[in-house]
């Protein structure tokens, strides 16, 4: 008998759709991490905001679908893609010590990733754990919390 998916299951294929984002003071860190993990990243579909996406595409010779830079709406574009089911996980090297002109957008991205149960790495250690997980190369079903009962209006 086939295993049935729970009603709130969202399947992820073996080839993950990964968003790569970094604040200015963390771009070099993300690029170094991506260089180290280039072979694994090449097996997945990559997305990036502005300069970060361009740096990864150019330096690693990988295809990266690029959104606008974060302050110009890139974080919101990633959030929209998450809500449409088009992003499976996010690697976001953010700078907790530097105020950003678009802090509200960053917070919204963190919130939408949580609402849609998207794995998110915010530093090298969590990104290392995520990319080395056996779940990166196999199907996975993430489940969604039904927040509709909590929403008014």
For the annotated catalytic residues, the residue numbers are 75
Instruction: Determine the Cα–Cα distance for residues 32 and 138; give it in Å rounded to an integer.
Output: 25
Helices (H), 88-143: 103-115, 124-132
* 8 Å CB contact between 27 and 55: yes
Spell out where the chain has E strands. 9-12, 17-22, 45-49, 64-67, 89-93, 120-121, 140-143
Spatial CB neighbours of 139, under 8 Å, sequence gap ≥ 6: 11, 12, 13, 14
Instruction: Determine the Cα–Cα distance for residues 139 and 32; give it in Å rounded to an integer.
Output: 27
């Amino acid at each position: 008998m086939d295993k049935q998916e729970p009603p709130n299951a969202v399947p992820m294929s073996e080839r993950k759709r990964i968003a790569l984002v970094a604040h200015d003071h963390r771009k070099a860190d993300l690029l170094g991490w991506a260089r180290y993990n280039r072979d694994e990243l090449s097996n997945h579909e990559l997305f990036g905001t502005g300069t970060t996406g361009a740096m990864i595409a150019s330096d690693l010779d990988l295809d990266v679908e690029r959104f606008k830079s974060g302050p110009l709406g890139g974080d919101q574009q990633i959030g929209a893609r998450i809500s449409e089911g088009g992003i499976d996980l996010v690697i976001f090297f953010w700078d907790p010590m530097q105020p950003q002109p678009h802090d509200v957008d960053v917070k919204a991205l963190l919130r939408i990733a949580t609402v849609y149960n998207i794995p998110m790495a915010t530093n090298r250690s969590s990104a290392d754990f995520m990319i080395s997980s056996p779940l990166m190369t196999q199907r996975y079903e993430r489940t969604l919390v039904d927040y509709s009962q909590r929403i008014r209006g």
